[in-house]
Amino acid sequence: MVDGFIKRKIMRLDKFDYSQAGPYFLTLCVFNKQNLFGFITPQGDLELSPAGTMVKRTWQGLPEHIPGLVIDEFIVMPDHLHAIIGFIDERTWRAHRPATTESEAVELAEIEFKVQEVSDIVRRFKNQTQREYRRGVNLHNWKPYQGRLWQRGFWDRIIRNEKDLQAHREYIYNNATKWHLDHNIQ
């Protein structure tokens, strides 16, 4: 404790540039482990709630708003999200976004390619989903969350090689089944 404040452990790797290409494995948790995004059936299948579908749609849409962001595997679970992301450079990004009309070419040329850090992307995602979730509570009677939607911070792991990447993809792929077994769902 410093001057009456609890000193939080910094979760990021010291002096690492989190705008590097990646890939990164991320985990974002719902505040107080509230199951707001769906449920796992007794058969081990994931059923997303409308809120979970919104979270999934928002995550999938991030690359449209963040030039250079690449989303690999991800899963929205009842109380958390696991994802693998990476970044590509501006030249590669522009080469993979060919304009089909003159107006699209002008629009693409005007897009500012700004390198973002992982924490900036997570912050944007959390803010956007919290706003949308509040709207869902007010308009569609979604289950209200307690306190806030997302837990402070997030967990990340810098994926170091292809074997590590495949292991994290497998972890994501098997996450619903593992949840089913861990929570002894009957």
Q: Are 21 and 80 in contact (CB under 8 A)?
A: no
Tell me if residue 125 falls in helix, strand or coil: helix
Both tokens of 114, joined, read 């700004």
Residue given tokens 């693409």 in the structure block: 108
Ranges of each domain in the chain: 24-182
* Fold observed for domain 24-182: Alpha-Beta Plaits (3.30.70)
Do strands 69-76 and 24-29 pair parallel, antiparallel, or not at all (unpaired)?
unpaired
The pTM of this model reads 0.80
Q: Give 82-139 pLDDT, tens digit per residue.
A: 999 988 765 655 555 555 666 665 565 555 656 678 899 999 999 999 999 999 999 9
Residue 47's contacts (CB-CB under 8 Å, 6 or more residues apart) are 38, 39, 40, 41
